[in-house]
Amino acid sequence: MDRLSEVFSALADPTRRAILARLAEGEATVNQLAEPFPISLQAVSKHLKVLERAGLITRGKEAQWRPCRLDAGPLREVADWVAAYERFWEQRYEHLGEYLQKLQKHGTPQEERDE
């Protein structure tokens, strides 16, 4: 799987998004991250592995502590992709709006013969 797909997959889970939102406020340990969720530490660790593989978080090296940090880079890629998609559609719909006006002025599509 390429990077963008991996990031989208990682983001497709509400628990992982909640973890990222928490990390947007600052680094945290696995225990701190697990606190708000009714799931096991082991399950949280699994989610962290997915996020780490997607490059969305990095983890400290200290064996006991290993705080997690958000890495905004891949999120920016997603945001860029979505922004480009939106911009294209904004322009398309702008042209569709104008085209529909033209169609209505000059008659129904069936009568349109300027092709």
Partner 1 sequence: MSDKLTVTMPSDLDVKMVRVFDAPRALVFEAHSKCEHIKHWWGRGNPLDCELDFRPGGTWRFVEHAPDGEAYAFHGEFREIQAPERIVQTFEFEGMPGHVCVETLELTEEGGKTTVTSVTRFDTKEERDGMVATGMSDGAGESYDALDQYLAKLS
Q: Which residues bind partner 1 (CB under 8 A)?
A: 1-2, 4-5, 8-9, 11-15, 17-18, 20-22, 24, 72, 75-76, 78-80, 82-83, 85-86, 88-101, 103-104, 108-109, 112, 115
- Taking the complex as a whole, the smallest distance from the CB of residue 62 to partner 1 amounts, in Å, to 26
Distance CA 90, CA 93 (A): 5
- Taking the complex as a whole, the smallest distance from the CB of residue 66 to partner 1 amounts, in Å, to 22
Residue (15 or 32) nearer to partner 1, CB: 15
Distance CA 75, CA 109 (A): 44
Residue with tokens 């169609």: 103
Residue (14 or 62) nearer to partner 1, CB: 14
Radius of gyration of the chain (CA): 23
Distance CA 43, CA 106 (A): 62
- Taking the complex as a whole, the smallest distance from the CB of residue 53 to partner 1 amounts, in Å, to 13
Residue 16 and residue 51 in contact, taking contact as beta carbons nearer than 8 Å: yes
- Taking the complex as a whole, the smallest distance from the CB of residue 64 to partner 1 amounts, in Å, to 27
